[in-house]
A and B are shown apart, each in its own frame.
Chain A
Amino acid sequence: MVQIGNVYMWLAGILSGIIGAMGIGGGGVLIIYLTLMAGVDQITAQGINLLFFIPCAVIALVIHSRKKLIIWRLALPMILGGLVGVAIGAYSAEMIGPNMLGKIFSAFLIFIGLRELFARRKEDDGIKKSSR
């Protein structure tokens, strides 16, 4: 299934690495490629993306923590809460099955996309102010 040297595969990998490391949802890109172009089923694509993101996140984390951009005392308690959520989520994915999961994933993409498009103004101003 995986062909080394496929141009699209490299594009999808690099793009989702970039977007993932910036913290704006690289996962979408790889899963989209895997399901729409590589013919992988939804739940396997999700699993691939999870494994894929681990080394990407380690690299990004090293770079970000050198720049003191990470607020650990906020992250640590949220990790605990998040782990509880993961257990429930992964179990639900198992129950729901790939077809329905694909629909939920598409709806989630559309929702996030629309939010990014239309709820951005204030935050853009925020970036300008805080980065000066």
Chain B
Amino acid sequence: MVGVKIINTQKKRFAYLGSILVGFINGLLGAGGGMLAVPLLKKAGAEQKQAHATSIALILPLCLFSATLYLINGKVTFSDAVGYLPAGTVGAVIGAFLLSKIKDSWLRKIFALFIIWSGVRMWFR
């Protein structure tokens, strides 16, 4: 497996500061923090796949905290979410194995087009 590069302290500091923004996006939009975390982690010295994997280690506790705040504020209940969990866990297993198997650039392109299209539709909803 690829090793960790020697990490420049200043770039690490940049990543630490940036993590506040990652959390902000996670709390504000309930998603998308990882999109920001991956480039930050790469700047701090992580390889591509390490950055994707590490972003999940970062996002999980943030999700826990965000979800708790949403639950406390009554924005969502457990029963709203429970129906989606079986499908999600199946997908998570597939996705986690795929990460180390495939070259993901084609997936990214499709995904990019999909979210642009969705963004436009949501704007004019």
Contact partners of A84 in chain B: CB under 8 A: 20, 23
Which 6 pairs of residues, A with B, have the shortest CB-CB distance? A17-B91, A27-B31, A85-B23, A46-B30, A89-B27, A13-B87
| Partner pick for A28 among B32, B100, B107, CB 8 A cutoff | B32
**Whole-angstrom CA separation of A103 from B21 in the bound complex:** 19
Q: Is B125 a contact of A35 with CB atoms below 8 Å?
A: yes
Q: CB within 8 Å of A: which of B55-103?
A: 55-67, 69-71, 73, 75-76, 78-100, 103
B2 adjacent to chain A (CB < 8 Å): yes
**With A70-B50, A85-B21, A110-B116 known to touch, is A46 a contact of B29 (CB < 8 Å)?**
yes
Q: Is A20 a contact of B16 with CB atoms below 8 Å?
A: no
Provide a sorted-by-A list of 29 A–B residue pairs whose CB atoms are within 8 angstroms.
Answer: A11-B87, A14-B90, A14-B94, A17-B94, A22-B52, A23-B51, A24-B107, A31-B30, A36-B118, A43-B76, A47-B70, A50-B67, A50-B76, A54-B60, A63-B96, A65-B57, A68-B1, A70-B57, A85-B26, A87-B69, A89-B66, A92-B28, A94-B75, A109-B116, A109-B118, A117-B112, A128-B103, A130-B48, A131-B49
- Contact residues on B (Cβ < 8 Å of other chain), bracket: 35 or more
Give the dominant DSSP class at A's interface: helix
Contact partners of B23 in chain A: CB under 8 A: 81-89
- Contact residues on A (Cβ < 8 Å of other chain), bracket: 35 or more
Interface string of B14-48 (1 = CB under 8 A from A): 01111111111111111111110110111011111
| A residues neighboring B (CB under 8 Å) | 1-4, 9-32, 35-36, 40, 43-61, 63-65, 67-72, 74-75, 77-94, 96, 101-110, 112-114, 116-117, 120, 123-124, 126-128, 130-131
| Partner pick for A17 among B18, B31, B54, B87, CB 8 A cutoff | B87
